[in-house]
Chain A
Amino acid sequence: MEKKKNNEQLSRRNFIRNVAFGTGATLLLTNFSLIRWHVDEKGILRGIVVDYDKCTGCRTCETACSASNHRVWINGEEMEGLGNPWLANIRVHRFNPDVDVPNVCQICPDAPCIAACPVEPDPDTGRRALYRDEEHLTIKCDTDRCIGCGNCAITCATERSGVIIPNPETGSPERMCTLCSGDPHCVKACPYGALSLVEVDTNREFFGMSPKEIARELMKKYYKTGKEEVSHG
């Protein structure tokens, strides 16, 4: 009960703060190339990149992601789940005129989501509730320590692509890419070869942009006649 109250206070205060900051931060950070990642120290940072020219919006990635990350036990044996797309970390956003934008955690080098976590770092591990996993360098949440304030989700939405969604019951962040322990199933399952696992590059086109922003750019690219606006009839 106390936790919940605490959450609400934190949430409200930080929401205001983050929205204010977030907008500013987006403007400041449109040049993502300023973000640094120390490869020598931490290893190569990898993430999923979408080739929008190849994506057809079929959502096979959602089902593969869900099956891999929501495993089940059947007769004492652990195996992949059914692939319920609702549970997927990668999510395809559909737009009209026809454009589909799979949205997946960018595993940002500067991880503004972690920076926004108000939980004090653990003295032993240095981890906040949201932290970068040492093995695969993905973003993980320690649900035992998470207070469910939603700051990470707000920050992700305002400063990056908005992939983090708080669990509706606990408020803990979900949908951060796990890279399926280094072997991402979405990449393997995509029938169109639209997904790949590559080194994170903040200079890459569309890095850190929301699906809506990306869709706007893609519409300009694909449906262009020289006229400014596309027509609907």
Chain B
Amino acid sequence: MDKLYGYSGSILEVNLTSGTIEKVQVSPSDAKNFVGGRGLGMKILWDKVKEPGMDPFAPENPIMFMPGPMTGYPFASSSRTCVVTKSPRTSPVHSTYKHASTISYSNMGGFIGPEIRFAGYDGIVVTGKASKPVYIKIENENVEICDASEFWGMGTDAFDIKFNESLGDNRFQSCYIGPAGENMVPMACVLNTAARAAGRGGTGAVMGSKNLKAIAVKGTGFPEVADHKKYLELLDKTRTKFRDDPMTAWWRANGTAGALTMMSEASREAVKNFREGTFTDVSLIGAEAARAKAWQRDFACYACPLACKKSGIVQKGLFAGLVHDGPEYETGTMYGSNLLVNNLEGLLKEIYAGDDYGLDIISTGNAIGFLMEAFEKGYIDKDFVDGIDLTWGNVRAVLDMLQKITYREGIGDLAGHGVKKLAEKVGRDSHKFAIHVKGHELAAHNVHVNPGMGISYVSSNRGACHLNGANPQEQNSTAMVDSLGVCLFAAGSYGENGLEDIITMITGHSYPTEEYMKTGERVFNLEKMFNYREGFTREDDVLPDRFFEEPLTMGTGKGAVLDRKEFEELLTTYYTDRGWDPVTSRPTDEKLESLGLEFTME
């Protein structure tokens, strides 16, 4: 067999029910066709989940921690790990299967992805369910399932400190869940460094369902590349490129928070449960305010020149002394603008709480926004929300809700299941402002003035996703970025053929642009077939009514609303461009054959 350059060639498989620990070979054809990260994770999911309708919380549902073949090589922000599993968040309009759901993938930066690679693995696949709380400790070949009872119940911040102390060596990198994941709140996420999250799609809940608190990993190796000389050349070229790229300074200056005021001005922000696109108070919570009042330092993920993470301290008021990162664009919008919270200190406390509990801040921001709107409209009363004063902008109410969601108390239990479930309970026409696609809430980008973002949301394979891309080309390209293990923020600065050249150099397989894009397309279509098998069709690719019925009332986008017919036409064009049946949304047999996905055809 040819040597697999750029890969260790092994996946670590841990079964928590039996305690079995195995190294499984990566098939060279899978490596070539599905690359790594999101793509290889999807392929493994397909191979392991043979029938549709599996309960995402069943022990058999694998949760995978997948770096890509770029992860760990010091190219700009080659730091990513994609967490892949069957989603506990999504559901179709109609399906024969009770537990039908889509794939879930969510990726995080930080340092754990590179370390998984240094330890000698192209990914970690965990199945089964431990009988008590455990963590997995990996040091190269040595893998142990360890008792995590002493850590169970801890918030991610305290855990991060205590866990590192107990490991006794700060070369360990880890990822973990907070109490929300332990309690299997569907909106729970996986975090590392107490701040960087694989936030979306309920990955933390799946980890919790396995009684898996954390993974700690340390390694000493590094997979060889196919063309070492070229590696040094491209590394040098990339470093120069990023040094000279004006975007580098943009990211460094404010991180994603720099987009808060910009997006609000363009009426593209999520404001007041997506009712508006502009937040009049945005400057109070934007990057400038944060820099003046809280931020102290910039932080970067592994080998990244962008340093988009900003950490600081709350100086004044009730929460004085609180140290954390943020706001970012997503957290600042979802816990700020979307809830009309204009108090920076309160916003930072909310973000801290969300991260500490281990919650998806996007989805929880939606759930609370939905309840605030229903409360304002009189669809629900105070009793319905356990006496919490859910008025817009009320920081205390947001914090109370986050706690209730985490511990699944009263209204919190329902809210943690998402706005789709909330709307079913609240009734009337509340589904019109339940902001989700397939049960997965929309991120901080409003769509009234941005139909392309609407396409991104409805056609995403994990339920609403703002990073998905507005057309097949963008989506295929993003699927590749997520599979390579490089950060989407940095990917934009690699330039023409930048990533193609790097993956070709690493693996020794030629990825000319056409092949590169086709590989992304293959990943996307396999995800699609997984979802289609579960019962998801075109009827699930819909935006909430709000965007078609309620024009924006303020800002530069005042009056903007989507036209339903035009949007449906846009979607039909999208399916046609994809080579999918516009009625059912199923990829055609010809398309599947051309991508080597015959094995998905039933």
Q: B43-51, B198-206, B214-222, B258-266: which lies at the A interface?
A: B214-222
Whether B299 pairs with A56 at a CB distance below 8 angstroms is yes
Contacts A191-B239, A230-B321, A231-B321 given; does A56 touch B298 at CB 8 Å: yes
Whether A60 pairs with B303 at a CB distance below 8 angstroms is yes
Contacts A58-B307, A98-B323 given; does A189 touch B229 at CB 8 Å: no
Which residue of the partner chain A has the closest CB to B310? A98
Whether B313 pairs with A233 at a CB distance below 8 angstroms is no
Interface code A78-96, partner B: CB below 8 Å = 1, 0 otherwise?
A: 0110111110000001101
Contacts of A223 in B (CB 8 A): 296, 312-313, 323
Whether A86 pairs with B220 at a CB distance below 8 angstroms is yes
Whether A84 pairs with B323 at a CB distance below 8 angstroms is no
- A100 contacts the other chain (CB 8 A): yes
Whether B232 pairs with A80 at a CB distance below 8 angstroms is yes
Interface code B160-193, partner A: CB below 8 Å = 1, 0 otherwise?
A: 1100100000110000000000000000000001
Contacts of A60 in B (CB 8 A): 74, 303, 305
**283-330 of chain B: CB within 8 A of chain A:** 296-305, 307, 311-316, 319-323, 325
Whether A82 pairs with B224 at a CB distance below 8 angstroms is yes
In the bound assembly, the distance between CA atoms of A100 and B304 in angstroms comes to 14
Contacts of B302 in A (CB 8 A): 58-59
- B435 contacts the other chain (CB 8 A): no
Whether A96 pairs with B194 at a CB distance below 8 angstroms is yes
Whether B305 pairs with A58 at a CB distance below 8 angstroms is yes
In the bound assembly, the distance between CA atoms of A58 and B74 in angstroms comes to 10
Interface size class of B (residues with CB under 8 A): 35 or more
**21-37 of chain A: CB within 8 A of chain B:** none
Whether B157 pairs with A98 at a CB distance below 8 angstroms is no
Contacts of A100 in B (CB 8 A): 299
Contacts A58-B303, A60-B303, A100-B299 given; does A189 touch B232 at CB 8 Å: no
In the bound assembly, the distance between CA atoms of A63 and B72 in angstroms comes to 10
- B353 contacts the other chain (CB 8 A): yes
- B382 contacts the other chain (CB 8 A): no
Interchain pairs with CB closer than 8 A, number: 121
Whether B313 pairs with A86 at a CB distance below 8 angstroms is no
Whether A232 pairs with B157 at a CB distance below 8 angstroms is yes
Contacts of A67 in B (CB 8 A): 232
Whether A79 pairs with B229 at a CB distance below 8 angstroms is yes
Interface code B208-250, partner A: CB below 8 Å = 1, 0 otherwise?
A: 0000000000011110110011011001000100110000100
Contacts of B303 in A (CB 8 A): 58-60, 63
Pick the contact of A96: B157, B321, B322 (CB < 8 A).
B157
In the bound assembly, the distance between CA atoms of A56 and B307 in angstroms comes to 7
Contacts of A83 in B (CB 8 A): 73-74, 222, 235
In the bound assembly, the distance between CA atoms of A99 and B314 in angstroms comes to 16
- B536 contacts the other chain (CB 8 A): no
A230 shortest CB reach to chain B, Å: 5
Which residue of the partner chain B has the closest CB to A52? B297
- A16 contacts the other chain (CB 8 A): no
- B521 contacts the other chain (CB 8 A): no
In the bound assembly, the distance between CA atoms of A231 and B313 in angstroms comes to 9
Which residue of the partner chain B has the closest CB to A222? B296
Contacts A191-B239, A191-B305 given; does A233 touch B155 at CB 8 Å: yes
Which residue of the partner chain B has the closest CB to A75? B229
Whether B307 pairs with A93 at a CB distance below 8 angstroms is no
Whether A191 pairs with B228 at a CB distance below 8 angstroms is no
Contacts of A224 in B (CB 8 A): 313
B249 shortest CB reach to chain A, Å: 11
- A229 contacts the other chain (CB 8 A): yes
- A97 contacts the other chain (CB 8 A): yes
Contacts of A96 in B (CB 8 A): 157, 160-161, 164, 193-194
- B356 contacts the other chain (CB 8 A): yes
B5 shortest CB reach to chain A, Å: 12
Whether A230 pairs with B323 at a CB distance below 8 angstroms is yes
Whether B313 pairs with A192 at a CB distance below 8 angstroms is no
20 residue pairs of the A-B complex, CB under 8 angstroms, read A59-B111, A59-B303, A60-B74, A79-B229, A82-B222, A86-B118, A86-B219, A96-B193, A99-B297, A189-B239, A191-B305, A222-B313, A227-B320, A227-B321, A230-B321, A231-B322, A232-B157, A233-B157, A233-B322, A233-B353
A residues at B contact (CB < 8 Å):
53, 56-60, 63-64, 67, 72, 74, 77, 79-80, 82-86, 93-94, 96-100, 189, 191-192, 222-225, 227, 229-233
B residues at A contact (CB < 8 Å):
73-74, 111, 114, 118, 155, 157-158, 160-161, 164, 170-171, 193-195, 219-222, 224-225, 228-229, 231-232, 235, 239, 242-243, 248, 296-305, 307, 311-316, 319-323, 325, 352-353, 356
In the A-B complex, list the 7 residue pairs whose CB atoms are closest, starting with the nearest.
A191-B305, A58-B300, A63-B74, A231-B321, A84-B222, A56-B300, A98-B311
A82-B231, A222-B313 known; 10 new pairs, CB 8 Å cut-off, are A58-B300, A59-B303, A94-B111, A96-B157, A223-B313, A225-B313, A225-B315, A225-B320, A227-B321, A232-B323
